[in-house]
Amino acid sequence: MTSARSRRGGLARISGRRGEVLAALLLMLKGYRVLGFRLASPQGEIDLLAIKGGVLAVVEVKQRTTLETALEAVKPRQRERLRRAAASIAAGRPALKAATIRLDLIALAPGRLPRHIPDAWRGG
């Protein structure tokens, strides 16, 4: 790997982590309790896991130029992995077993406010 490519990768990781922190702050302002960042399970990694009421929100954070490209960036196969990962995590925590699992998106774009889309891929 070239040093330029390695540097770009490092900058992308830093930018991604900043985006996740911003997304978590937005969720907390909306009354969610953030349960974890970058949660790993055998099924995949969850950017943010948050709960509000009886809803367990699996939040994918995407930095793109438009909301549409952010929505399109999470393919059906990834959404299914996220659902399975959340179910696995919830099964291991008695307080979460009864929660309804929902896939949310927080889209971040340069020069724009973050946008939270609850249940971003209804039925998909």
- DSSP class of 113: -
Domains of the chain, residue spans: 3-117
Output the pTM of the full model: 0.83
Mean pLDDT of 70-95: 89
- The answer, yes or no, to whether residue 97 has pLDDT greater than 90, is no
Fold of 3-117: Trna Endonuclease; Chain: A, domain 1 (3.40.1350)
- Per-residue pLDDT at 11: 58
Would you say residue 17 has pLDDT above 60? yes
25: left (phi over 0), alpha (psi -120 to 50) or beta: alpha
Burial degree of 47 (CB within 10 A; 0-12, 13-18, 19+)? buried
68 vs 24, residue with greater confidence: 24
Q: Are strands 100-108 and 55-63 parallel, antiparallel or unpaired?
A: parallel
pLDDT confidence tier of residue 65, bands split at 50, 70 and 90: confident
Average pLDDT, the chain: 87
Mean pLDDT for the stretch of residues 85-101: 89
The CA distance from 124 to 53, in Å, is: 23
